Amino acid sequence: MAHCHRPRWQAIAVVLSLLLGTLPAPAQQGERAPERTPGRAPWQTQTNSAPPTSSLPATEPGAAAPLTLVPPNTTIVPRSAPEVKSPPSAGGAGQVSLVAVLTQDGQNIDQGLVWRVFRDKPGPDGKLKLLSMHREATPTLQLEAGDYIVNVAFGRANLTRRIAVSGERPTQERFVLNAGGLRLTPAVASGEPINEKSVSYDVYSDERDQYGQRTKVMSGVKPGLVIRLNAGIYNVVGTYGDANAITRSDVTVEAGKLTEATLTHAAAKVTFKLVARAGGDAIADTQWNIANPQGEVVKESVGALPTHIFAPGTYTVSARNAGEVFQRTFTLQAGESIQIEVMRR
């Protein structure tokens, strides 16, 4: 076996290389020794492969990250942060259709509706801002996603509530008015025909305020007309003529039904006449004042032959003409139609 004698300086270099860990492993038989790079020491060789990751020492907490050998001609690209998706916007337009019914299981109302759409929060003046008004039976609206206040009116029956509009899918809002109809018919105690043009009605709610007063719902309602009201109890005041022939009655309106109510008036018709003698001609330019026994003025008028309708009772009539006043007291019975003469003496 031949012995290879290396120069002493080469032996020293090998020892230093082993200590520094930079000497490449000896080539196996048949392998090609790594090529030298000009200007480098024999143990400083160039390689195109990065050391395996598993050979890198673990980093202790708080210690600096270890150096990683990167092959030449390699571009390092920093790892990008994961993409964060923004949540869907709460805005956007949404579609909502509006329908109204009289009762929970009733059919859709197909005419006579008025819809009003407001913002859900009052403005600087404390009032809700009206955004739109629609008279279609079932309007379909395009609104920005959010909350709104919607009022639907069917005659005097109405309902107001809040709705939410979403931009995700079309929705439908159903308004149950819980309403019915009321038709009023007048009559007189005597059973005689009545001139319906001389009758009008005021409708009040059953609820009272802190002063005990009812809230007026409608005024000047004519006989025979169907008025639409929310279900409930109402107080109806009927006036025959233009004086004090008044009748009152409580009526109940049921949802989805037509309530018909007949109000009977106890009244008498009176024509006044100022004369110089009994049966004489009426004196023109006369001012009339009719008062009840308590001294309360029931009616005032001007003319030669004024005609008025009064409730039964006792009254005092005063006729003023040419600066003079003439009086007479009289009593009326229900169903009468009479003429009262006041003598000018």
Spans of all domains in the chain:
93-176, 179-265, 268-343
What is the per-residue pLDDT for 92?
Answer: 73
* Of 60, 59, 37, 57, nearest in space to 48 by CA: 37
CA distance 42 to 232: 109
Provide the 10 A C-beta neighbour count for residue 82: 6
- 93-176 matches 268-343 in fold: yes
Q: Assign 193 a pLDDT band (cuts: 50, 70, 90).
A: confident
Residue 165 has pLDDT above 90, yes or no: yes
324 or 5, which is more confident = 324
Arithmetic mean of pLDDT, 22-48:
45
Arithmetic mean of pLDDT, 235-256:
96
* Of 213, 256, 257, 255, nearest in space to 235 by CA: 213
Superfamily holding 93-176: Carboxypeptidase-like, regulatory domain (2.60.40.1120)
190 or 48, which is more confident = 190
Both structure tokens of 328? 């007479």
Tell me the pairing of strands 258-265 and 179-188: parallel
What is the per-residue pLDDT for 211?
Answer: 87
| CA angle, 195 then 197 then 203, to 5° | 110
Task: For 268-343, give the CATH class.
Answer: mainly beta
The DSSP H or E segment spanning 291 is strand 287-291
Q: Are 261 and 183 in contact (CB under 8 A)?
A: yes
What is the per-residue pLDDT for 313?
Answer: 96
Taking CB atoms within 8 Å and a gap of at least 24, the contacts of 294-302 are: 298/243, 298/244, 299/242, 299/243, 299/244
Q: Scanning the structure block, which residue is given the tokens 């309360």? A: 296
Q: What is the mean pLDDT of the chain?
A: 82
CA distance 211 to 57: 91
Kindly report which listed range (60-74, 233-247, 321-335) carries the lowest average pLDDT score.
60-74
Residue 48 has pLDDT above 50, yes or no: no
Q: Assign 85 a pLDDT band (cuts: 50, 70, 90).
A: very low
What is the per-residue pLDDT for 111?
Answer: 94
Kindly report which listed range (44-58, 281-295, 306-320) carries the lowest average pLDDT score.
44-58
Integer CA distances (angstroms), 25 to 33, 52, 137, in order: 10, 16, 93
CA distance 58 to 134: 74
Superfamily holding 179-265: Carboxypeptidase-like, regulatory domain (2.60.40.1120)
Residue 19 has pLDDT above 80, yes or no: no
Amino acid, single-letter form, for residue 81: A
Residue 58 has pLDDT above 60, yes or no: no
Q: Assign 88 a pLDDT band (cuts: 50, 70, 90).
A: very low
Q: Assign 189 a pLDDT band (cuts: 50, 70, 90).
A: confident
Q: Assign 242 a pLDDT band (cuts: 50, 70, 90).
A: very high
Arithmetic mean of pLDDT, 263-284:
95
What is the per-residue pLDDT for 7?
Answer: 54
User: Can you list the positions of beta strands (E) in 120-257?
Assistant: 130-134, 140-144, 146-154, 157-165, 171-176, 179-188, 199-208, 214-221, 226-230, 232-240, 245-253
Give the count of alpha carbons within 13 A of 299, CB side only.
20
